[in-house]
Amino acid sequence: MYGILVIDAAGEAVSSVGFEKFSGGSSMLAGLVSAVQLFANKISGTDMSELQFGDMRLLLGRVQERYVVTMHAASDMSAADKNRKVVALLDRNPGLTVSQEMLNAVNGTATIDETESERVRKSAAQFAEVQMSKTKKAASEWSKTVF
């Protein structure tokens, strides 16, 4: 697992770790996830649970009114388990701020491969830009049919 992001009901990043080098930071990703979740809820009535692109996979969980996003390598077979651990930990401790120590504890490691982490972050930035463009276009098209 490369990062943890907690997003409030307004779509703002409340707490994050692992997104420091991410182009646009955690705020851009929080806005994207919030917008896509809102769109998914309007269309299907359910939350989105996963986004996968390139070498990266984002798993989404919910703790009360907050979304919890964990970032993993697409090949990480234990990603869902790690996401559940983070969600459970934050659910039991509502005021807890995510930290590098939490990330390391869930990973069961004291270090993170910076090269792999940077590659995944770049992949996330590219994805975010493409998805934001698609979301804007879809929202524009949808608004034409509603309004």
DSSP secondary structure of 81-96: HHHHHHHHHHHHSTTP
Tell whether the model's pLDDT for residue 58 goes beyond 60: yes
Tell whether the model's pLDDT for residue 57 goes beyond 50: yes
Quickly count: other Cβ atoms within 10 Å of residue 124's Cβ.
Answer: 27
3-state secondary structure of 106: helix
Average per-residue pLDDT in the chain? 80
Distance from C-alpha of 62 to C-alpha of 122, rounded to nearest angstrom: 25
Q: For 64-121, how does the pLDDT look when each residue is reduced to its tens digit (9 = 90+)?
A: 888 999 999 999 999 999 999 889 888 888 777 777 777 777 777 544 444 555 565 5
Residue 112 is predicted with a pLDDT of 41
Tokens representing 71 are 């970032």
Residue 60 is predicted with a pLDDT of 93
Residue extents of the structural domains in the chain: 3-137
CATH topology of domain 3-137: Beta-Lactamase (3.30.450)
Phi and psi at 15, nearest 5°, equal: -160, 140
Residue 89 is predicted with a pLDDT of 85
Residue of 129 and 74 predicted with greater confidence? 74
Region 39-44: mean pLDDT is 88
